[in-house]
Amino acid sequence: MAALSRLSRKVLSSSLSRPSLIALRGLSTDAAKVAATANATDRLKWDYRGQRKIIPLGQWVPKIAVDAYVAPNVVLAGQVTVYDGSSVWNGSVLRGDLNKITIGFCSNVQERCVLHAAWSSPTGLPAETSIERFVTIGAYSLLRSCTIEPECIIGQRSILMEGSLVETHSILEAGSIVPPGRRIPTGELWAGNPARYVRTLTHEEILEIPKLAVAINDLSKSHFSEFLPYSTVYLEVEKLKKSLGISI
Positions in the chain short of pLDDT 50? 1, 4, 7-8, 11-12, 15-49
What pLDDT, on a 0 to 100 scale, did the predictor assign at position 174?
A: 96
Distance CA(142)–CA(123), nearest Å, equals 19
What pLDDT, on a 0 to 100 scale, did the predictor assign at position 19?
A: 46
What pLDDT, on a 0 to 100 scale, did the predictor assign at position 184?
A: 96
What pLDDT, on a 0 to 100 scale, did the predictor assign at position 40?
A: 44
What pLDDT, on a 0 to 100 scale, did the predictor assign at position 231?
A: 58
Amino acid (1-letter code) at residue 163: G
Distance CA(192)–CA(53), nearest Å, equals 34
What pLDDT, on a 0 to 100 scale, did the predictor assign at position 248?
A: 63
- Each residue of 76-89: pLDDT tens digit? 999 999 999 999 99
